[in-house]
Amino acid sequence: MSSKTVSLTEEAYNRLKMWKINDNESFSEEVLRLLPKHRDVGEVLRKAKYHLSEEEAEKMKKDIEFF
């Protein structure tokens, strides 16, 4: 598998490092775990730990898509 080099500020690196499950998880594994495969706001909202009503989710989705 090919790879790419990504530059991060120290703050961004430290924040990403804090989200690692354990020391054995690579940053690639972490990014794949945290970011959805597709840029689908609906999917992210459905998997969210907090529960939104359908109305709240649709409003949030429209607000995000507006930008």
Within-domain flag for 1: no
Q: Which two tokens stand for residue 38?
A: 């597709």
Within-domain flag for 23: yes
For residue 13, give the 3-state DSSP assignment: helix
Within-domain flag for 5: no
Cα gap 6→20, rounded to integer Å: 17
Within-domain flag for 3: no
In the chain, the number of structural domains is 1
Within-domain flag for 2: no
Mean pLDDT rounded to a whole number for the chain: 84
Query: What pLDDT shows up at residue 13?
Result: 95
Within-domain flag for 18: yes
Range of the domain at 62: 10-66
- Digit-coded pLDDT (tens) for 36-67: 777 776 676 676 666 777 888 788 888 887 66
